[in-house]
C-alpha cells in the first residue's frame, strides 16, 4: 500500500461542503461530562484549516457503543459544546446523522461554518459499512476527509464506505501518522530498532513477521518473550507462555537469522512468587526461572542491552510494555526503555495503547517524534496491512 495520500492541502475546499470523520470518542464521567478533551483538541488543526479556507464543515464521529440505536447517553452534543469553546464559534449540532435535521442544517451551512452530526453508530449500518447508509451520509457533502486514525483499520460507513461516493483525502492527524510511520517502514533512518512487548505473541504475530523484513534489530520483551525463551529450551516456571506458538517463535528466530536481523530476547528477568504488586521478587537468568515463580519484568542486564540498542538507533518503533508495569515493583523495564528512547536522538515512534500511556505518564511526551493515536490501527499498520480508512483515500 502507498502511504502517499492526498491531504486537505492538495485539493480546493473553499465553498465546498466537506464531511470530516473525526475521532471524538472522548472519555466521559457518569454525568456525561467530558473528562479529557485531548481528542477534540487534536482535531482542531484540520477543522481550523477548513474553516479558514471557507469550507462548510460537517463533522462526524462515533462515541462509545450505542449498538445501532439512538441513545442520548452516547450523544455528541457535549462534544459540540466543548469544540465550540475551543474554536471560539458556535458549532451547530444536528439532532440526527442522516435524517431531516442533519440534511436541513447541512444544506443551510455557510462558508466557514461548522456543524456536527449525531453519533454515526446510532445506525447499525455504520459498522456494517452498509452502502445505502454510506451513500446517504456522503450526500450531505461534496468532499470527504478522514482524520480519525484510531478507526482507520475498520471498514465502516463513515471511515471508508463514504469514499465510494465522494473525493476522499486525509486531514492533518492521519497525514502525520502515515507519513511518519510510512517513512519508518519504507525508508527509515537506520539502524531501525523495533521494540515489542505486551502479553501475547498471538496478538503480534503479523507485526513480528512484517518487522523482520524491515528492521536491523528486533527487541522482544514483556510477557511474550517467555514463549521465545521456552521455545529455545529455557525453563520459564509459571511465566506467560503460549504453547501453541512455540513453533512460530522458533520460525521467527530462524527468520531473524536468515534476514540478518539482530533479535534481542531477555537474558535476565525479575521474577515474582505470585502475580501481585506485593509479590516477593528476585533477579535470575531468563532461561532458568525456578518452578512456582514467574517473570514479570526484564532484568537489569537485559534493560542495559535494550537501552544500548536504542542509543545507537536511527529510528525506534516501540509497542508494548516490557513487564507488568501496573505494579510499581515490575515497572522498571518499561520505564527504563521509555527513558532511553526519550534520551536518544533517534526518530521515535510510539504505538498507541500501553506504551503511549507509559510515555505520557512518565512525562516523556515531548521527547518523542510521534505518539500514535491508534493502538489497533498502528499495530495493523506495522503489520503492513492495508487499512480501509486509508486505502480509500486518493493517492498523491
Binding site for ligand AMP (CB under 6 A): 198-200, 203, 222-223, 240, 295-296, 320-321, 323-324, 326, 353-354
Helix (H) or strand (E) holding 350: strand 347-350
What's the burial of 345, exposed, middle or buried (CB within 10 Å: 0-12/13-18/19+)?
Answer: exposed
Nearer to ligand AMP, 49 or 330 (CB): 330
The nearer residue to ligand AMP, 118 or 354, going by C-beta atoms, is 354
Instruction: Give the residue among 148, 132, 298 at the shortest CA–CA distance from 220.
Output: 298
Residue of 39, 56, 230, 335 with catalytic role: 39
The alpha carbon dihedral of 175, 181, 187, 189 has a sign of: positive
CA gyration radius, the chain:
23
Q: CB of 327: closest distance to ligand AMP in angstroms?
A: 8
Comparison of 166 and 358: residue with beta carbon closer to ligand AMP = 358
Q: CB-wise, 23 or 354, nearer to ligand AMP?
A: 354
Q: Among this protein's residues, is 230 annotated catalytic?
A: no
Residue 105, C-alpha cell as written in the block: 442544517
Let me know: does 108 contact 45? Beta carbons within 8 Å.
Answer: no
Instruction: Decide whether 78 or 295 has the Cβ nearer to ligand AMP.
Output: 295
Q: Which of 304, 307, 314 is nearest to 215 (CA)?
A: 314
Residue from 198, 299, 353, 375 carrying the catalytic annotation = 353
Name which of 222 and 332 has its Cβ closer to ligand AMP: 222
Q: Is 29 exposed, middle or buried (0-12, 13-18, 19+ CB in 10 A)?
A: exposed
- Give one DSSP letter per residue of 11-36, joined into a string: S--TT-EEEEE------B-TTS-BS-
Q: Annotated catalytic, 353?
A: yes
Helices (H), the chain: 38-52, 77-87, 100-108, 125-128, 131-138, 172-186, 205-211, 225-231, 246-258, 300-311, 332-343, 353-361, 375-382, 388-391
65 is catalytic: no
For residue 34, the minimal CB distance to ligand AMP (Å) is 26
**280 dihedral zone (left: phi>0; alpha: psi -120 to 50; beta):** beta
Buried b (16+ CB within 10 A) or exposed e, 202-218: eebeebbebbbebbbbb
State yes or no: is 237 an active-site residue.
Answer: no
Residues annotated as catalytic (active site), given as ranges: 39, 200, 353, 376
Amino acid at each position: 500500500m502507498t502511504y502517499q495520500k492526498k491531504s486537505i492541502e492538495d485539493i480546493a475546499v473553499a465553498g465546498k461542503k466537506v464531511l470530516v470523520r473525526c475521532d471524538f470518542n472522548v472519555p466521559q464521567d457518569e454525568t456525561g461530562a467530558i473528562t479529557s478533551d485531548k481528542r477534540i483538541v487534536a482535531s482542531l488543526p484540520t477543522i481550523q484549516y477548513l474553516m479558514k479556507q471557507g469550507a462548510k464543515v460537517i463533522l462526524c464521529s462515533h462515541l462509545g457503543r450505542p449498538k445501532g440505536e439512538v441513545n442520548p447517553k452516547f450523544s455528541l452534543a457535549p462534544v459540540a459544546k466543548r469544540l465550540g469553546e475551543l474554536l471560539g464559534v458556535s458549532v451547530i449540532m444536528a439532532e440526527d446523522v442522516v435524517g431531516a435535521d442533519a440534511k436541513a442544517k447541512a444544506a443551510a451551512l455557510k462558508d466557514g461554518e461548522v456543524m456536527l452530526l449525531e453519533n454515526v453508530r446510532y445506525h447499525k449500518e455504520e459498522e456494517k459499512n452498509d452502502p445505502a447508509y454510506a451513500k446517504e451520509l456522503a450526500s450531505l457533502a461534496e468532499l470527504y476527509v478522514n482524520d480519525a486514525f484510531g478507526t482507520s483499520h475498520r471498514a465502516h460507513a463513515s471511515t471508508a464506505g463514504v469514499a465510494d461516493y465522494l473525493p476522499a483525502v486525509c486531514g492533518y492527524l492521519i497525514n502525520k501518522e502515515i507519513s511518519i510511520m510510512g517513512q519508518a517502514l519504507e525508508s527509515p533512518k537506520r539502524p531501525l530498532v523495533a521494540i515489542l512487548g505486551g502479553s501475547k505473541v498471538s496478538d503480534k504475530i503479523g507485526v513480528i513477521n512484517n518487522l523482520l523484513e524491515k528492521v536491523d534489530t528486533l527487541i522482544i520483551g514483556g510477557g511474550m518473550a517467555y514463549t521465545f525463551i521456552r521455545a529455545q529450551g529455557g525453563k520459564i516456571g509459571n511465566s506467560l507462555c503460549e504453547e501453541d506458538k512455540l513453533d512460530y517463535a522458533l520460525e521467527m528466530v530462524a527468520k531473524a537469522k536468515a534476514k540478518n536481523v539482530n533479535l534481542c530476547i531477555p537474558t535476565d528477568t525479575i521474577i515474582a512468587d505470585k502475580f501481585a504488586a506485593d509479590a516477593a521478587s528476585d533477579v535470575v537468568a531468563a532461561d532458568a526461572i525456578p518452578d512456582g515463580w514467574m517473570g514479570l519484568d526484564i532484568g537489569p542486564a537485559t534493560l542495559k542491552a535494550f537501552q544500548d540498542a536504542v542509543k545507537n538507533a536511527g529510528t525506534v518503533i516501540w509497542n508494548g510494555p516490557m513487564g507488568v508495569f501496573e505494579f510499581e515493583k515490575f515497572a522498571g523495564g518499561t520505564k527504563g526503555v521509555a527513558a532511553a528512547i526519550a534520551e536518544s536522538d533517534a526518530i521515535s515512534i510510539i504505538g498507541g495503547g500501553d506504551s503511549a500511556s507509559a510515555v505520557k505518564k512518565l512525562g516523556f511526551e515531548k521527547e518523542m517524534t510521534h505518539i500514535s493515536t491508534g493502538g489497533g490501527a498502528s499495530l495493523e499498520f506495522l503489520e503492513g496491512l492495508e487499512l480501509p480508512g486509508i486505502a480509500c483515500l486518493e493517492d498523491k
